[in-house]
Amino acid sequence: MARAINFSAGPAALPEPVLKQAAEEMLDWHGSGMSVMEMSHRGSEFISIYEEAIALLRELLAVPDNYKILFMQGGALAENALIPMNLLGPTAKADYVITGSWSKKSYKEAQRYGSINLAADAAQDGKYRGIPPVAQWKLTPDAGYVHVCTNETIDGVEFFFTPDTGKVPLVADISSHFMSRPMDIINYGAVYGGAQKNIGPAGLTIVIVREDLLGRAHPLTPTAFDFKTVAESDSMYNTPPTYAIYIAGLVFKWMKAQGGLAGIEQRNIEKAKLLYDTIDASGFYSNTVDKDARSRMNVPFFLKDEALNADFLKGAKERGMVQLRGHRSVGGMRASIYNAMPIEGVRALVEYMRDFEKAHA
């Protein structure tokens, strides 16, 4: 069996040892005689799976005690509504910063729920290449929160600093670089993301929220999506995505074995450097993002001659490399190199890129 070298932006590649263990445990989890999929979410077996996953996540990401970890559903796009519903608070005001396609979507959705201020918009000719200096953000002093997307999956723009928003809580969509490196959760009021980029299967959405921000949900917030309800019921107000939580737990164990997030970050730095260096050293490929905001997870790049795009993808496929087509809104190519992408996969890609350049330059 040949596994693809999978550069998908999400759902994305998972660590092979995790898939193997899940396969082994598929019919009989730890002598229970059942698949995890078949277990009651309230039974002691699943509760132990849930508790271990939460504990590992808290340990790996160093989540402080005064933050709740919520396992939800609906993806980051549902959170685009649930964040304002839960966190706008009494002023019903919030600031949004647009640095790419995903934060733009968040901004648009939030407008349905309150008075939403566009604090900064990085678009230049409809393209996103960096992060406007925080000093230029037009922030609202009595906003409920400031929203950012700290890794723009489509545009390849990543924050490598934490914006200082004073007393106003910072809220971040971290979907596509969740657990790709250590982060100081304490600088955020809340962070959220879908699991399917770096953590596990689609269907699990993780929210990490500071306790003092709970209990201010709009009265029309669905009970199952009220952060306070979810927190108080240990994410079991209704049936959580049990199998996705189980796989996420296996991924967390794998992360720990990789040296935790510090070890993972080192490998991610190495992988991204190899790819960006190859792009920059060539006259054939380009990436247009500011160097200090280039995503380590999602690397969009363009061929000098766009007419060669189809050939490039075809040749890549012949070498077992798939899902390199750029997002339709950006064009070109995009290599998503999440935690589970080994350095060998990136080496295979850059070798192919050099060969393709030689053949077509």
Summarize as ranges the residues that interact with ligand PLP (CB under 6 A). Answer: 10, 75-77, 102, 149, 153, 173, 175-176, 194, 197
> Rounded to the nearest 5 degrees, what angle is found at the Cα of 301, between the Cα atoms of 4 and 136?
125
- Residue in the structure block whose two tokens are 């193997």: 20
Residues that are catalytic: 102, 173, 197
DSSP 147: E
Dist. CA 275–CA 301, nearest whole Å: 10
Least spacing, CB of residue 157 vs ligand PLP, in Å: 10
Rounded Cα gap, residues 32 and 25, in angstroms: 10
- Rounded to whole angstroms, how far apart are CA atoms 71 and 338? 21
For residues 226 and 206, the answer to whether their CB atoms sit within 8 Å is: no
Identify which of residues 10 and 15 has a Cβ nearer to ligand PLP in the complex. 10
Distance in angstroms (rounded) separating the CA atoms of residues 309 and 230 = 46
Which one, 39 or 272, has the nearer CB to ligand PLP?
272
- Smallest distance, ligand PLP to C-beta of residue 134, A: 20
In this structure, the dihedral spanned by the alpha carbons of residues 340, 341, 343 and 344, taken in order and rounded to 10 degrees, is: 120
At its nearest, how many Å lie between ligand PLP and the CB of residue 176? 4
Question: 282 with 357: CB under 8 angstroms?
Answer: yes
Residue 328 CB, shortest distance to ligand PLP, in Å, is 14
Nearer to ligand PLP, 119 or 303 (CB): 119
3-class SS string, 203-218: CCEEEEEEHHHCCCCC
CB of 227 to ligand PLP, least distance (A): 17
Q: How far is the CB of 180 from ligand PLP (least distance, A)?
A: 12
Closer CB to ligand PLP, residue 245 or residue 353?
A: 245
Q: Residue 143 has which token pair? A: 């906003």
Q: Which residue is nearest to ligand PLP (CB)?
A: 75
Residue closer to ligand PLP by CB (options 61, 149) is 149
Short-list 109, 94, 153, CA closest to 128? 153
Rounded CA-CA distance 70/127 in Å is: 34
Q: Residue 153 or 235: which CB sits closer to ligand PLP? A: 153
* Alpha carbons 168 and 187: distance in angstroms, whole number: 11
Instruction: Give least dist CB 97 to ligand PLP, A.
Output: 13
Residue whose CB is less far from ligand PLP, 75 or 144: 75
Identify the three-state secondary structure at position 47: helix
CB contact at 8 A, 117 and 93 = yes
Nearest CA-CA partner of 171 in 153, 144, 131, 196: 144
C-alpha distance from residue 244 to each of 71, 204, 207, 299, 310 (Å): 10, 6, 15, 26, 35
